[in-house]
Amino acid sequence: MAAIQGQQYFVSAAIVAAELHKAMLVAREISLTASNARALALRAGHGAAGFRAITEFIEELARKTVTASKDINGEAVKMSRTASEIARTRDALDRFHQAFEKAKDSPI
């Protein structure tokens, strides 16, 4: 049971990391597209001033998405480390318990 629970933590951390990676790739693509669109708006001059504001907003949103993804990924790494520590601790406790049970009837 403890092993299954520990595996669930590892699987959860891996799923979070994979989804964050996808989100970061999309955010980077959006940021690049927004940068290109902003450059076009700057070339277009005064007539595209409204478009420039939209591209800046999209670029900022992409930047925030990348930052948030990095922060969440850091938390996922912590979750994975905690799951490893829990799994190791449970394994050690199981081994100590087995050793105790084996030694319980031995004369001292």
Residue 82: band (very low, low, confident or very high) from pLDDT cuts 50, 70, 90: confident
Cα angle value 56/52/26 (rounded, 5°): 40
pLDDT score recorded for residue 23: 82
In the structure, what pLDDT confidence band is assigned to residue 77 with cuts at 50, 70 and 90?
A: confident
Range(s) of the domain holding residue 78:
2-103
Average pLDDT, the chain: 80
In-domain check, residue 32: yes
CA pair distance 10, 22, nearest whole angstrom = 19
Domain-located, residue 80: yes
Is 73 in contact with 20 (CB distance < 8 Å)? yes
The pTM score is 0.61
Q: Determine the pLDDT at residue 7.
A: 65
pLDDT value at residue 97:
94
CA distances from residue 64 to 18, 39, 91 in whole angstroms, order as listed: 18, 20, 40
Q: What is the pLDDT of residue 95?
A: 94
Q: What pLDDT digit, counting tens, does each position of 26-58 carry? A: 888 887 888 888 788 778 777 777 777 788 888
Read off the CATH number of the domain in which 69 is found: 1.10.287.950
List of residues 6+ apart from 73 with CB closer than 8 A: 16, 17, 20
Domain count of the fold of the chain = 1
Angle of the 49-103 helix axis to the 2-44 helix axis, nearest 10: 170
**81 pLDDT exceeds 90?**
no
Asked if residue 108 is part of any domain, the answer here is: no
